[in-house]
Every structure is written in C-alpha cells, then in structure tokens.
Structure 1
C-alpha cells in the first residue's frame, strides 16, 4: 500500500518571514506567492493550512497563523461529507451499491411520502427533502448519526422527493451513513478508517480519539468589516428552508462556531459536519481517491446531477455523486467545502489533490473566496509542469 503522496516535500524552498511557513517543491512557488499575497491583505490571520499533491507526490505544504502549525487539527465541517461520499463511491465501484436502485431496497424504512421511489443517486444529489425536522435536532441527535437518521426518515420531507435539490447540510452524512450501514453492517466511520485513514496514514478523523485532543485547536469566529456586515444585511437573512437545513430553527439558534468547538461533536464524528483533520490529511485522502477510483467511478463523482438552482442555499449546478463540483478547477474535479472557509478536491485531469483549511471563519461562510485563487494557480502550475 502506497501512502498516496504522503511523503515530505523534497527539494522545497521555505518562507522568508512573510507569515507563511512550510515548503513547496521546485516550480510550485507561485502557489506560495498567492497564499502570501492573500495573507498580507487580511486584517486577521485565517489560521490556515494549504497542501497540494500532484501525481502522487506532496508538492505544497504550507501554513500560516500564530496558533497554527502543520500538525494542528481543526474541525472541518462539511469537508467530512467528502469522506463519507468517497466510501459510497468505493462501494458503488465494487458493485455493492447500485446508484439507480431505490434507497429502500437497502433500507426498507426509507419509505413514505414518495421516499420509497428515491434512488441512491438522487439521495446523494440532495433530492430527498429530508433536510431537517420541525423544531430542529438536539445536540445528542446532531452528534449521533444513527439517531439522526432514525428521526429524520420518519419526518415529512420538505418537498416531494426527487422533484428538486437542496443542500442537506446537517443530514446528508447521516442518511449516507445509514445506507452504508445497511449495505456493510458497519458505520461510515468504520469503513473510512479501514479503507482510507489507517492504510494511508491520514491525519483526518471521523470521530477524534481523546488522546489527540491536545493537537486540536478551536474554530475562531468571523470578524467581518462594517462594509461586509452592510452587504450581508442588504441581502436579507436566510430563507425558511436554510433555517431548517442548518438547524437554525431551534431556540436558541445553533451557533456553528460553538458546535464545532464542542467535544461531543469531535468525539461523535457526525459525517455531515464533525470531521477533524489537517490539510495534510485531507489532501492525502483525495490523493488516495485518485489512486483508488477507476476512471468511470471518478467521472460519476464529478458528473452534474443537480442542474439549476439549489432550493436551500444560493448556489447553482452544485453536485455530482454527493461531491461538490469545482468550477474553478474543471469539469472532472470533485470535492467538498467546509463552513469555516475550507475546500478540498481531487482532479483526475491534472492529478491534483488539494486541501485548504482555515480555523478563522471566513465571510460569509462556505468555501472562502481565496480557494479559487489558489486552485487556479495550482492548475496553471500543474499544466506547465505536466
């Protein structure tokens, strides 16, 4: 078993006192320059890590911030969905899950309100309508995927299943996980550990062991400018479905920073939102995906299954096989972002595996804008180096 590009950067160059630390391999200096330029323009450190693999080798290994090093573990929110969906993709590749069979063929209780007709492909495309429940979930439910799946599958969907798509922010990992459990008899975390984390030595956990808590550092709150606050106010608040999907229909409303910093979340490892890792670990996972996935399976991961507008959040043409598409990279790339500003992906076209994590919440949330800058430069360098 190879280590999917987990080797140290060889022959790299180190920083020059500009707040960016680490190494890049020869030829990859433009990525470092782009990160340094971004950091120089920020009022507050993003406390970030940026790692790239190219064709199986780690070529960029950078970090920035007073309280962030290369081994600092952070809660990465929806980056965790990518790990869960990679497990599903491997089961599809092995023929154990058929994308076009009804979910109910594997999970008989997935029925009622038209759910019994929903296919696995449609479930992964955020088409079930099971985005939440009236009054929201408790912390106990949010940190226990089995309990969350059992409750949400009994609820009435927020639209007729299969007729539209909308981001299942807090539930898709539990639904995916229950499908995996019905097929394999094991949790998605157990499958992930056996197939990916342990053999590839990944510093990315669905359920953080207590002995690693000393390496974990908290998510930091957003510090928007007055101009950003005014721009957000002009757009208005979240819609009704977004309130449900992000469990903001509770009293008090769920605070995403407090959620990520709660030990119950890190220990429980909800597959929608509770993974903990480093950019090294996450990039290593996507490098492993490039090694493990056959070309047709990788194409399924990236193929658009959700044309048009998302019913929950303001995005367009968003999903492949549970993965978010990566328009800044190319049509063959697939990955997933995380609420504090992180993003990660694999791109079979260039052989790139990318991970950017940040512990300071970016404005306005979701994949931070700088990801496009970093990804475009990385693609340019990969094209030049071949």
Structure 2
C-alpha cells in the first residue's frame, strides 16, 4: 500500500459509490493518513469504509475496529446524556444549574440555566485562572474551579464556544442528577445496551486499538492566535487554557481521564450510531432511547449570532441548538438547514438529519487546521446528499 494509494476496506451500497469516491479522494488530494466513514439512511448502513494508517510511521493499518479520539464530536453524546435525564423528568432544562449543583451559584451564576450550558451560552468558555493540562484531567479540580469562576459575558445572551469546559459543565449536572459521570452514564444507558464502540476516555484494555493523532503544532489555531495577541480573553480562555493538541491526546493521562468535551474515543460506526439516535428522532436499531419530543428538542435553536469564541475564525453567524449545531444556511451538515451535528478539532464529525433519515460518522487521525467544516468532511457530506 503506497502513501497515495491506501487500502480501502469495508462496503458501500452501489447507490452511494460517490461516498467511496470522496473517501478515496481524501487520501489522494487532501493528505488523509488514516480514516473511517459510516453512513446510515433510515437506520440501514449504506457505507462503512476505513483505510490508511493508524500511526504516523505507517506501520499499523487502520482496521475495522480502530478507535480514535474524536475531540468535540464527543459533545453530541454528552448532550444525549442530559436529554435522557430531561426526558425522564429528572432534569429541567429551564431550571437554574444551581438547583442541582448548589456551588455553581457563586460569582453571579445563580440564574444560569441548564439550557445555557447545553447551548454554549453560560459565559464559561474557559477559566480565568491558569489551568494546567494535568488539572484539566482532574474532574474534581476542574468542576470546582468552574463552580467558583465568574462568567466572561452575561449568560444567555450570546454563544461562545465552550471548547474544553462544556463536558465538565453538562457532565457535572449529569453526575449530580444521576450519580454517574457522563462516561459511565453513557455506557450504562446507551453504548452498553446498544453495543456501540464508543467511550469517553479510553479504557486501558482498548489502548492497543487507538490510532495515533498527528498534526503540526503550528496548525493549532488557538495557540497561533494566542501568541499573536488576536484572541479576546473569553476566546483565549477557551482555546488556550490549557493548550491541547495531538501530543497531549496521545498520552496515557489524556486517554485515562474523563474530559467529555473532547476525549471521546470511537469508530466512525459508533459516531454514526450515536448521531443516528438523533436522526431517528430518538430510536436506534429498533430501540427507543429518547422520546420524539426530546429528540426534537436537541435541535431547538437558541439564537443565531457571531460566536464570541469562534467568530473571528468563522466570519459568519452560527446557531447552536441544545447540544448540537444547526446546519443552517451554510450547510455544515448538508442542505437541510435543520440538520444538526458536531465537528471535532482537526476534522472528525457526526451528522444527524431526521428529515432525510441520514446519520454520518467520520473519524481520522491526521488533524487539519479547521475547527469545523474540514474539506474532507464536507466532501463526504456532499457525496451523501448527491446520492440521495
């Protein structure tokens, strides 16, 4: 297998040969190293492809069960945990966070609502005090500091991407309500019963299956902007306190920790399944996970705006629902503006389009410089909708 002609394995329905062509083109034209993509339509898998290398040295082929850190694509499953609790009447999305997490009321946050956490509107895009990598990996330290800190902007008024804090914020509410952190809750309620190969953090027994992430340190957008002084404080806190990238994500410390905003590990098949719950309006593989009303609530837009963290890089307005981003007029998740999804730092993505019945999971190990809408992902999304 040469660098330009990787071995592609898996299957693809004849109707979706354009997806296979786009996947292959990502290796030829877009510097893919190792990757996988899975597409389902009305719950039926129409494409399940993988290929390339699981390591930078090209000694390990990407296998059917290769796992990889998917960064912020993890946020969709975290939101799912909260919506399951809300669907059961255990969590009120319009209640103050402090109802469940009393310490959170400090520093003027007594009126912050659970929906503000889900929609990146809590004003807590990052911490004000320096927060080291090892501290980020410590659940108690991170949640205690988030409870004590002051918001960067008036909560509920604007979105500002909570890149690393999202999972601890939503996750601590999940823990206070259910008694379980989101990783254990997701395993008990969803991935375990449905046999979905996805975990928040990575069990040591699965480390041998993990792909090695790669990217140039110079490609870390948050770090570049921080060094050049271009980031406002709320964005600097979100993207560079601490700075994390491939080097950190390949460490045993990162893999063993629970950082729900960013260290979910899974296959493309698993991502397509988790986002398939939203595409199926709460049903996956014949099993109901959410009521249709609860699944619909996930894509309840919270107001379009220039995101206070990502605004300069996006140069466009975006809209977040209650845990997922709306495709909107720019088509991040296909032509249906009400389709939803989430991208991960460097390229990965999950997509859910209930109207078309489509879910997609795309994972890879060579990280690009894009926060969202990586050209490799967009080529695959376009191919899916061209085939429908």
Would you say same fold, with TM above 0.5?
Answer: yes
- What does 1:161-310 correspond to in 2, within 5 Å? 161-222=155-216, 237-246=230-239, 248-249=240-241, 254-289=243-278, 290=280, 291=283, 292-310=289-307
After TM superposition, give the deviation of residue 19 of structure 1 in Å. Answer: 4.5
Please give the secondary structure, in 1, of the residue aligned with 2:171: helix
Deviation of 1:367 after TM superposition, in Å, equals 3.9
SS at match of 2:15: coil
Note the 1:1-386 alignment, pairs <5 A: 19-42=7-30, 44-67=31-54, 68-222=62-216, 237-246=230-239, 248-249=240-241, 254-289=243-278, 290=280, 291=283, 292-314=289-311, 315=314, 316-327=317-328, 328=331, 329=334, 330-382=336-388
Deviation at 1:241, TM superposition (A): 2.4
Residues 342 and 367 of structure 1 are in contact (CA less than 8 Å); yes or no, is this contact kept in structure 2? no
TM-score by length of 2: 0.85
Deviates more, 1:132-141 or 1:74-83: 132-141
Q: CA separation of 1:288/1:199 partners in 2, compared to 1, >3 Å: closer, same or farther?
A: farther
Is the partner of 1:53 in helix, strand or coil? strand
CA distance in 2, matches of 1:25, 1:71: 20
Q: Distance in 2 between matches of 1:134 and 1:98?
A: 28
The Cα offsets for residues 173-216 of structure 1, whole Å up to 9 and x where unpaired, read as 00101111111111111110011111111111112111111111
Name structure 2 gaps, 5 residues minimum.
Answer: 55-61, 284-288
Q: C-alpha separation between the residues in 2 aligned to 1:322 and 1:109?
A: 23
TM normalised by structure 1 equals 0.85
Looking at structure 1, the residues matched to 211 and 6 of structure 2 have their Cα atoms a distance apart, in angstroms, of 23
Q: Which consecutive residues of structure 1, in runs of 5 or more, have no partner in the other structure?
A: 1-16
Taking the aligned partners of 1:214 and 1:313, their CA distance within structure 2 comes to 35
With 47-56 and 104-113 compared, the bigger mean Cα shift is at 104-113
1:223–1:31 Cα change, 3 Å: farther
Secondary structure of 1:59's aligned partner: strand
Give the distance between the partners of 1:149 and 1:131, measured in 2 at CA.
13
CA contact (8 A) 1:114 1:161 kept: no
Contact 2:107 2:149 in 1 (8 A): no
- 1:40-77 deviations in whole A, cap 9, x for unaligned? 213x3342111111111211111231332222111111
> 1:143-164 CA distances to partner (integer Å, 9 max, x unpaired)?
2333311111101211122232
CA contact (8 A) 2:70 2:263 kept: yes
Aligned residues: 356
Q: Is the 8 A contact 2:107 2:148 kept in 1?
A: no
User: Is the contact made by 1:114 and 1:160 (CA closer than 8 Å) also made in structure 2?
Assistant: no
Whole-angstrom distance in 2 between the partners of 1:109 and 1:261: 33
Distance 1:48 1:240, change over 3 A: same
Checking the alignment, whether the CA contact within 8 Å between 1:325 and 1:331 is kept in structure 2 is yes
Helix, strand or coil: the match of 2:116?
A: helix
